[in-house]
Each structure stands twice: as structure tokens, then as C-alpha cells.
Structure 1
Amino acid sequence: MKVVKSDGKRVDIDLDKIHIMVEKACRGITGVSESLVEMNSGLQFYDDITTKEIQKILVKSASDLISLDNPNYQFVAARLLLFAIQKQVFNTKWKDSEIYPPFLEIIEKNIDLGVYDGTILDHYSTEEIGQLNSYIKHGRDLDFTY
């Protein structure tokens, strides 16, 4: 089975990569099963699936497992979604998700992409943006629920 990566390349699906990502999303969370998330999602893969679609399927797989008896899957789904957001915003792979670029770098990248208006840098100095950066607690990202 082939996967289409974000750069358009077609490669063989790497189930080990998917397992490692699900394992990381489940790490430290009680009452969840990596195997259950994987089994719930694996039946939905198809040839030439995109990596973005795999990510969506994994998030849905975990969110479908959320129940009164198994509420902690909300954290698994949130982490899987976080990995996708980090890739989009920081242009980093989920396995490097502990490495965050400086806030100024993110702002500049998003100005270049047309997401932010460049005048934002007219209103805030490099020092002020650096101060904002110091307030961001990335460790809290893992506390969000789905």
C-alpha cells in the first residue's frame, strides 16, 4: 500500500511510524490502548492515502473511543491533532514536537506565507515578541482535550 506524502512523493506505508506516533500520543495516559486506536483506524487506510488523511483517521479513531468508561481517549485524540497542527504551524514532524521554534520565527514564517500581515512587526519590537515567547508554556499543549 502506498502513501502520498505532503511533498507529493509516493512511498510504502510505514506502519511502524504510525505505531510510534500512536504510542507517543498514548504515553503517560492511563486507561487507553495503543492497539485499540491502531486497530480502529487501520481498516480505513487505502492505497494512495495522504499523510494528512492518515492523521485525520487516527484522530477520529481515538475520538471514537471516548466514552464515559474511557474518557482518557480525549487526551490521545488531542495529542494526535496537536501533532498535525505542529507540523502545519511549525513545519516540524510529530517526533520533533518537543522542539519549538522561537515565536518571532513563527511570526516571520507566517508573514512570508501570507497568513499574518507584516505590519504586526511594526507594532511589536523584537524584545516584546521575545517577552511573549517567554510566557508560552509548550508543555501545557499536552493538557488539552479533544
Structure 2
Amino acid sequence: MPSEKHTTLNEYRVIRRNGQLSRFDVNKIAIAMTKAFLAVEGDTATASNRIQNAVHSLTNQVIKGISRHENTVPIEDIQDQVELALMRAGFHKVARAYVLYREEHAHLRAEKHEKTVIYVTDSTGQRRPLDEKHLRAQVIEACADLVDVNAEHIFDESLKNIFDGISERDVKHTLVMTTRTFIEKEPNYTYVAARLLLDQLRSEALNFVNQGAHYYPDYFKIYIKCGIEHELLEPQLAKFDLDKLSYLKTIRRQIVWLIPSSNCQKRIRPLSKRG
């Protein structure tokens, strides 16, 4: 079985479909691909050096594919990388055998499917069920007024990366990181990720909603003034009625103004050009 370049993967954890974490085992990838080869070529191919070498090389490709993840990787992503590696290497029949294997097991899971409750750990160490309704609402709000973005895609992909016992902070971080994976396909996801990141930063700075409502109006005006003084924001922003803006019912609507839209022609000057 392949052994090189896998020492750095010892700390990886696989997110199972029920949200539980398990230790990453590279040998399981090699075993799954070997079974796919045997399904096509028969049991007599077990001792074939050609197949052993192919499995070794393909497993290393799969490892490279999942290395973009931080510390955890959904099991579906691993299986997707196996299919991709087989197809790229020209083992189309083996790839089809692997796809059929996945579909068969998916049907078996669907027949006995039971919704597993994922628990989130808050800042005090208490565990509570993940509020999927609230999570979906966060994503939908972050996608508001943006074209060519799909909140459900972000939500579904984020759930794959959320495991039992995850911290509240990491849930928000997962939303941001998941959204970033869509940016190459559609640039407007940049603004979705930015809004979600602002949500994360704001919740960390102001732990309670009533604190945010109390302190935010003053902070907003100071932020605009400081940004203009340091040439990070356009001076024209000071001409707006900041008192009125700071008391808008939805704080997000203020912040969105500071995130350039796809039609915005004005630039926010970079830090490197400070006076």
C-alpha cells in the first residue's frame, strides 16, 4: 500500500455522513480502488503488479486532491477525488464500477436513513443542536441582491463540512471557506464570502445582539471617519447622513454599502497607498 507523503495527513479527520469524525486512513482509499479494479478485471488481477502500481499512483493523486482542505474532509470529497483520478488516468470502466458501487450504497443508506442531530459547542462549552434553519437564513441573507449566486448550494456544501461537536466559531468559518470554493466559477461569490466574514467578525466583537444594537451606531460613524482619514474609504461617504444610516433597522444594509458591488466603479484604496 502507498506510504509516502502521508505522514502529514495523520491529523486529518474524515467527516462521515452522520456528522461524526473518524481518523483518516489512506489505506481505505487504496482498498476501495483495488476492489473497483477487481470488479472489472476479476479476482485473478489481485497479484498484478500493474494494478498495484496504478493504485499506488492514483492514491497519491487523490491525496493531492484533498490536501486543499484544512483539518477535516467530507467523505464525499474523498470519493469524488477517487472518481476524478480514475477518469483522468483513462480507467473509465473502473471509474464506472466505482460509481455503481457508490450508487448502490447510497440506495441502501436511503432505505434506512435517519436524520442525525449535529451538536454545536458554544463559547461556554455547552452543546446544542445545530440550527439549520438559522444557518440557511444567514446564507440567504448574505446572497441578497447578488446575481448568479446560489444560497442552497452554499448551504448544502457547508453542511458536508460541519461535524458533531464543532464550535460556533468554526461553523461561521465553514460558511466562509465553503463560499470561497465557488469564487472561481462566479466572482460574485466574493461578496457573499465577505458578508459572511463580516458576520463572523461582528459576532466575535459583539457577543450579544443587544450590545451590537447599542454600540454599533457610534462605531459606524467612527469607522467611516477613520477610514477616510487613512485614505481607505472615499471621502464622499462622509456626505451621507451617518446618524440615519447607523440607525437603520438592519445593520447589514449599512455594511453592504461598503462592499463593492459588481457595478461599482469607485475603488477603495489599498493599505500600501496610505499617505
> Fold match, TM over 0.5?
yes
Please classify the TM superposition score into its range, dividing by the shorter chain length.
0.5 to 0.7
Shift, 1:17, TM fit: 1.1
Instruction: Give the alignment's TM-score, normalised by structure 1.
Output: 0.66
Instruction: Give the alignment's TM-score, normalised by structure 2.
Output: 0.37
Picking from 135, 140, 145, the partner of 1:23 is 140
Native 8 Å contact 1:4 1:10 kept in 2: yes
CA RMSD of aligned residues (A): 2.8
Picking from 52, 69, 85, the partner of 2:201 is 85
Structure with max Cα Rg: 2
- Name stretches of at least 5 consecutive residues in structure 1 with no aligned partner: 108-132
Shift, 1:78, TM fit: 0.5
Relative contact order (alpha carbons < 8 A, sep ≥ 6): 1 or 2 greater?
Answer: 1
Q: How many residues are paired up?
A: 114
Shift, 1:6, TM fit: 2.1
Superposition pairs for residues 1-146 of structure 1, below 5 Å?
Answer: 1-67=118-184, 69-93=185-209, 99=213, 101=215, 102-103=217-218, 139-142=253-256, 143-144=258-259
Shift, 1:100, TM fit: 5.9
Change (3 A) 1:100 1:71: farther
The SS at the match of 1:8 is coil
Change (3 A) 1:60 1:47: same
Tell me the percent identity: 25
**What's the CA shift string for 1:68-102, capped at 9, x where partnerless?**
x4111011100110011111223345xx8x84624
Change (3 A) 1:29 1:5: same
Shift, 1:103, TM fit: 3.1
Letter in 2 for 1:43: K
- Name stretches of at least 5 consecutive residues in structure 2 with no aligned partner: 1-117, 223-241, 261-275
Misfit runs of 4+, over 2 Å: 90-93, 136-141
Partners of 1:140 and 1:41 lie apart in 2 by: 26
Change (3 A) 1:42 1:74: same
